[in-house]
Copies of this chain bind each other. A is one copy, B any other.
C-alpha cells in the first residue's frame, strides 16, 4: 500500500467535501455514512487535517468540517504530507537510512525519478481538479455509489 489507510480515508473525505462545498460545514457523520468509513476513525483523521490547517471544524448543531482554503488551492500532496508525512518522497528504495547523491544505493538515480514523478502527480492535482471529475459522474471515491 503506497498510502496508509488513514491517508486514503483522509483523501476520500477531502474529495467528498470538495464536491459538496456550499460554504457551510459538512458533518463528519454524513461523510462517514456516504463513504462507508467508521465515524470515530474518520473523526480522528479529520482532526489531524484540522490541526494542520487544511480544514476548519465547528462544533454543535449544523457543525462539521469544511476546507480551510479553496479547493483550487489544496493539493493531494498537502493532505498526504499532513497525514503520512514526507517519507514517500524522500525514502530510499532499499530502506537505507544513509542514501544520498554522494553515497547512493544502486537504485538511487532511478528511484529519485520515480519519487519526483510521484510527488509531481500529487502536487499537480488539486481537490478542485478531482472534484470536477467526480461531479462528471464517471469517477468514484467509494466502492459504492455516493449519493449527494
- Interface positions, chain A 65-94, Cβ under 8 Å from B, are 76, 87-88, 91, 93-94
Note all chain B residues with C-beta closer than 8 A to A108: 139
Among the 9-residue stretches A23-31, A41-49, A52-60, A97-105, the one with 4 or more Cβ atoms under 8 Å from chain B is A97-105
> Which range holds the interface residue count of chain A?
35 or more
A125 contact set on B, CB distance < 8 A? 107, 110
Q: Please give me the residue from chain B that is nearest to A138 by CB atom.
A: B104
Distance of A3 Cα from B99 Cα, bound (Å): 16
Residue from A2, A106, A133, A143 whose CB has the most chain B CB atoms within 10 Å: A106
Q: Closest chain B residue to A135 by CB distance?
A: B106
Partner of A94, one of B8, B87, B118, B121: B8
User: Which chain B residues border A93 with CB–CB below 8 Å?
Assistant: 2-3
Q: Provide 18 A-B residue pairs closer than 8 Å at the C-beta atoms, listed in order of the A residue.
A: A2-B2, A2-B88, A2-B93, A3-B93, A3-B95, A8-B95, A12-B95, A96-B141, A96-B143, A98-B143, A104-B140, A105-B139, A105-B141, A106-B133, A106-B134, A107-B130, A114-B114, A117-B117
